[in-house]
Amino acid sequence: MLIDAAHDGGGGLVSDSPPAVRLDEITKRFGDVVANDAVDFTLESGNIHALLGENGSGKTTLMSVLYGLYSPDEGTISIDGERRTFDSPREAMDAGVGMIHQHFQLVEPMTVLQNVVLGNEPTSRGLVDGAEARREISQICDRYGFEIDNQFETPVRKLDLGTQQRTEIVKSLYRGAQILIFDEPTAVLTPQEVTELIDVMEDLAERGRSIVFITHKLSEALTAADRITVLRDGAAIDSVRAAEATEQALARMMVGREVSTERPARERVPGDLLLEVDGLTVRGERGLERVSGINLTVREGEILGIAGVQGNGQNELVEAITGLRTPEAGSVSLSGTDITKMNRRERIEAGIAYIPEDRQTEGLVQDYDLVHNALLGNQTIDPYSDAGFVDWQRTREHATDITERFDVRPRDTTSTASSLSGGNQQKFIVGREIAHDPDVIVASHPTRGVDIGSIEFIHDRLIELREDGVAVLLVSSKLDEIQRLADRIAVMYEGRFIDTVDPETVTEEEIGLLMAGHDSTEAIESSGEMRQ
């Protein structure tokens, strides 16, 4: 495939052979919505091609057409120069196309080995040949440096997220994929795991695999890709060599205007103590201790950032603060008043708003329209409730106000939550929670899976709250977000704060190492070695 190949000047390889993938004039509609509008896309063999765009721009839809999840309404697909049509992912996989989804397609109770071979089990005399499966998978692991062959019998649910992702990649390679689509693969990874993943993609490309890297993170696209294509509103805006692109230029292409990513200047000094957590200990769903004696304070006009790899107790801490989980020990106080025994509704009325981690299951009722979703948390609060009855006129006005003030699209409040893109769902939740006029707002991963335009919008709203004197507790695994917004950063590891650092002076590498359990001295020394 790569015989007589030459470098394209952007770090990738090109050859006289046909491209690995060529999509011509791909159009895909869902009712009146045009998700892809006559999109052209070319992936050269042995290249990494990043696909950038805001939520709802059509990135995943376009690649779902290539993977056989959707059939295009118009346009053609060519693989290695041969015109193809795919009626299912099975047909795409048979043609050498594999897709590593943002939400892993693994059966958690099953082992690594069972997940990799599921549906493609080698057989001997009518029985599954486990020895042959182990041999084939071990060869793949050895070839690409995946260290999962020592965990063949481990249930997937016991693996960390990075290992689960490597299992997904091995599963595609086991099925013979020559073209790999990575759909937002870095969303749940630490900085070190992101670096490792990019190394894996580069190694795969060097060995002849061709890779599509769907992302909305500009720095990762510039680091990993040979070429970058930007989609906006379902159309391809441009395709450029990564070596010639900049973050500012790509951001302009994505959103159609200039986007600021600089750390904003502080305009006020933190005031009175609003939120105080003292000795909080919380158990999780299985009765295990997930938060171990944590203390924290957030003052008026301050953003406290909590950084950490997902699963280190952040969710349980947030639930205990917002009234969704009862702590085993310790207390939560608001403006000096103990609210530990208050339920969620009482805490809303006391002045604590909450932007939840999972907008689809915790923030919105997907089958409800925006009017009913605007009512959530307001059912008993004036002016939306009078003598136990909902004032639907005021609620409709409230929903309309949210969509207008927070640029939620479409503006139609009769639309269901499920019909909105992820970014618009998140903006609606942020608007609803800010409308509570809180003293404290707990924002848990407020921009997860959200595009750069919506990120900027949500960040600006959190900064405005801080400048208005609201205490903001920001939980995020995105280090650039934490460093841009927070006044202090507490790093959480295995249910404890391993350190509290200054975002003005700490490096991203140091925070990443703290997130992995290193103490401050180790993190500083290790990050210094990494930079040398």
Q: Give domain limits for the chain.
A: 6-96+178-255, 105-171, 264-351+439-532, 358-437
Q: Does the pLDDT of residue 15 top 60, yes or no?
A: no
**CA–CA dist 260, 240 (Å, integer):** 22
pLDDT band at 525 (very low <50, low <70, confident <90, very high): low
The answer to whether 280 and 329 have CB atoms below 8 angstroms apart is: yes
Asked whether 485 and 502 are in contact (CB, 8 A), the reply is no
Q: Which of 50-59, 78-87, 158-167, 258-267 has the lowest mean pLDDT?
A: 258-267
448 with 423: CB under 8 angstroms? no
Q: How confident is the model at residue 526 (pLDDT cuts 50, 70, 90)?
A: low
- 7: buried, middle or exposed (CB in 10 Å: 19+, 13-18, 0-12)? exposed
Q: Give pLDDT, residue 194.
A: 83
> Cβ(456)–Cβ(263) under 8 Å?
no
Contact 92, 71 (CB under 8 A): no
- Class of domain 6-96+178-255 (CATH, top level): alpha beta
Instruction: Give the count of beta carbons closer than 10 Å to the beta carbon of residue 469.
Output: 16
- Rounded mean pLDDT of the chain? 87
Chosen CATH of 264-351+439-532 out of 3.90.79.10, 2.40.30.170, 3.40.50.150, 3.40.50.300: 3.40.50.300
* Residue labelled with tokens 């959707």: 70
Same fold, 6-96+178-255 and 264-351+439-532: yes
Summarize pLDDT for 462-481 with one digit per residue, the tens. 999 999 999 999 999 888 88
Q: How far apart are CA 85 and CA 482, in angstroms?
A: 44
Could you report the per-residue pLDDT of 47-76, keeping only the tens digit for each? Answer: 999 999 877 788 989 999 999 999 999 999
Residue 521 banded pLDDT, cuts 50, 70, 90: low
User: Strand pairing partners for 389?
Assistant: 386
Question: What is the predicted pLDDT for the residue at 112?
Answer: 86
Using pLDDT thresholds of 50, 70 and 90, give the confidence band for residue 241. Answer: very high
- Kindly report the number of other CB atoms within 10 A of residue 160's CB atom: 15
- Interatomic CA distance for residues 519 and 525, integer angstroms: 10
The pLDDT tens digits of the residues spanning 318-345 come to 999 999 999 999 999 999 999 999 999 9
- Alpha-carbon dihedral of residues 439, 440, 446, 451, nearest 10 degrees? 30
The highest-confidence range among 46-55, 152-161, 403-412, by mean pLDDT, is 46-55
Contact indicator for 76, 27 with CB cutoff of 8 Å: no
Tens digit of each residue's pLDDT (9 = 90 or more) over 182-205: 988 886 676 777 888 899 899 999
Residue 124 has pLDDT above 80, yes or no: no
Q: How far apart are CA 236 and CA 58, in angstroms?
A: 9
CA–CA distance, 314 with 41 (Å, rounded to integer): 40
Give the SS3 label for residue 420. Answer: coil
210 neighbors 180 (Cβ within 8 angstroms): yes
pTM of the model: 0.69
